[in-house]
Amino acid sequence: MTRLVLVRHGQSVGNNEHRFSGWTDLGLTEKGAEESRQCGRLLAGAGYEFDTCFTSVLARSVDAGRHVLDAMGQSELPLTRSWRLNERHFGALQGLNRSQGVRKFGLLKIWRLQRSYTIAPPALDEDDPRSPRVDPLYTQIPVAGKDLPLGESLEDTYARVIPYWESAIGPELREGRRILIAAHKNSLRALIKHIEGLSDRDAVHLQIVTGQPIIYRMDSDLRAVERLSIGKPARKFFRFIGISPA
């Protein structure tokens, strides 16, 4: 059976400042870099090696993938980067910290959009400097500008991530390639929902720790058969607690 390893990037500057980072291109803190290196050391110690590493285009995901691979002695492995693995886009909340978000939009609205699978934040204007449609990072992406979001629910994030899983990642797994995905809390929630067959409600409440490897044994249909921890099988698939800004 194929094995797949997922890891959420280590602590980012946005995590440390309690911001809704979304597509804001923030890097890792030193703590986050070390969390990612420690993940690599754990994987190397358990005998893991990779043929492909997928990341988003955001620096915190790219840097996490690099730190993991460097710690494993696989620094030569190229990264495959895609905006479709980016974090959920937090729209007009993007870049705000929790208290700023509550002051601007109200506690109830913030509470609802964090705990709903279908509710999206207020959208950015297309010409907002935070919009990916005016961000130089995305000018070379060969997609229509309207495909780049101005705000997303988790449902929208799922709809962005899973076609990439099916078109790019899945075929490599079926060929027996050993894959690492270094991504974000909500893009990983989308992937885990798909491969574990979780309900919408359960996906919203997934808790994904920074810098901790999530290891799956996959069947031929690329569904999770077992979730492993380093060195021994985990007794259960994910069960769920609260949410914080990504």
HEC per residue, the chain: CEEEEEEECCCEHHHHCCECCCCCCCCECHHHHHHHHHHHHHHHHCCCCCCEEEECCCHHHHHHHHHHHHHCCCCCCCEEECHHHCCCCCHHHCCCEHHHHHHHHCHHHHHHHHHCCCCCCCCCCCCCCCCCCCCHHHCCCCCCHHHCCCCCCHHHHHHHHHHHHHHHHHHHHHCCCCEEEEECHHHHHHHHHHHHCCCHHHHHCCCCCECCCEEEEECCCCCEEEEEECCEECCCCCCCCCCCCC
List the catalytic residue out of 35, 67, 87, 194.
Answer: 87
**Active-site residue identified among 9, 67, 89, 184:** 9
Is 9 tagged catalytic? Answer: yes
The reply to whether 87 belongs to the active site is yes
The catalytic site residues sit at 9, 87
